[in-house]
Amino acid sequence: MLPGPTPGTSVPLDGPRGFAVVDVEATGRSPWRHRVVEVAVVLLDARLRPEGEFATLLDPLGPVGPTHVHRIHQADVEGAPRFREIAPRLLELLAGRVLVGHHVSCDHAFLGREFARIGVPLPPVPLLCTMRLARAHLPEAGSHGLAACVEAAGLGWYPAHTALGDARVTAELLRHCVGAPSCPPDDWAAPLREAARVPWPRLGRARSRPSGAAVPLRRREASYGPWLPGSQAPEVVLTPPGAMGSMA
């Protein structure tokens, strides 16, 4: 059982915390009917400098969905945490930050539904979409899917359709678009201030594990590019449960 948020409490903020670049892989296309099976967050400060990252596979409590797309097999999620077990940590990571993603409304919708299932409404956090940024500041992109934008920006190979790979390269794409001459230099000041004012709920630790047991994370990892054209990309490696850390 996961304790609910304490009424009237929020994460204390000293000022703008920066950006949370998110990506989810899911068991299908509908946030209402399908579940998140992998989530990643890459943290950037207000100047887009890296601050940390979080990623894990999740047990969706059912079929993992389109393995041909996300390459997650049913056996991969055995021993992975459930969403409610990582929800307290995820709230801490997102609090006070602008939420960034490529087609961020999709990632936001899936996260919102997962939190709603455990009785926690997400606050109205500011969103920043790199797909929209690419349309405005990356005219050389033939289309605006993540792979096409990454290629047009010259960011090299990345492990596509892994949550961490997509989140990492989306962070790089954000930096690329913000650095474009057509992008106003102070365009993010208002969203950062707005994000810092949003009150976020706090959650206690999930109690679905044996008393005192840590929640093991399970992460898919691959070396990040860029790689030379024609070179063989490294394989995505699935870490054993707990090898990438745990949450007490």
The string of pLDDT tens digits covering residues 24-74 is 999 999 999 999 999 999 999 999 999 999 999 999 999 999 998 998 999
Q: What is the distance between the alpha carbons of residues 248 and 144, in angstroms, rounded to a whole number?
A: 40
DSSP β-ladder status, 127-129 and 98-101: parallel
Alpha helices in the chain (DSSP H): 67-70, 83-94, 104-117, 130-137, 146-152, 163-178, 189-197
Query: In the prediction, which pLDDT does 221 show?
Result: 78
* β-sheet bridge partners, residue 22: 41
Query: In the prediction, which pLDDT does 27 show?
Result: 97
Q: Which amino acid is at 17?
A: R
Query: In the prediction, which pLDDT does 6 show?
Result: 41
Query: In the prediction, which pLDDT does 9 show?
Result: 47
pTM: predicted TM-score of the whole model, two decimal places: 0.87
Query: In the prediction, which pLDDT does 223 show?
Result: 61
Query: In the prediction, which pLDDT does 247 show?
Result: 53
> What are the average pLDDT values for consecutive 10-residue runs of the chain, which has 248 residues?
39 72 97 97 96 96 94 92 95 96 98 96 94 94 92 87 93 94 83 92 75 78 58 62 51
> Residue 158: which residues within 8 A CB-CB, separation 6 or more?
150, 165, 166, 168, 169, 224, 225
Are 57 and 220 in contact by the 8 Å Cβ rule? The answer is yes
Q: Sign of the CA dihedral 72, 247, 98, 3? A: positive
Which of 108, 84, 125 minimizes the C-alpha distance to 24?
A: 108
Is the domain 19-197 a CATH 3.30.420.10 member?
A: yes
